[in-house]
Amino acid sequence: MDDTFLQARIDKCKELIVAIETLIETLLTADDGDQKSYTLNTGQSVLTVTKQSIPMLEDMLTKMENRCATLCARRNGATTRVTPGW
């Protein structure tokens, strides 16, 4: 993969990370009496969430952070060498 492609993916991951963090913060600071739902449009899908969705959003956030770290490592030339265990 070329650097331009990887950088575009990294930039998109960072945008999604910020959007998910903002959504979690919004849900956490909402009044307990509020039964509001919020929508996250990733560009590929639309996700409607409520306060009960926070664990799922935290899992999604972790996955996006890991994806971003992996893409950054690829862009920076990191390689992995695996030796068989036998």
pTM: 0.77
Q: Residues, the chain, total?
A: 86
Scan for tokens 């969705």, then name that residue: 53
Render pLDDT for 22-78 as a digit per residue (tens, 0 to 9): 989 988 887 766 667 888 787 778 888 888 889 999 999 999 999 999 999 988 887
Structure token digits, residue 51: 């306060």
More reliable by pLDDT, 47 or 81 = 47
Rounded Cα distance between 78 and 66, Å, is 15
Q: What is the CA radius of gyration of the chain?
A: 17
DSSP-derived 3-state class of residue 48: strand
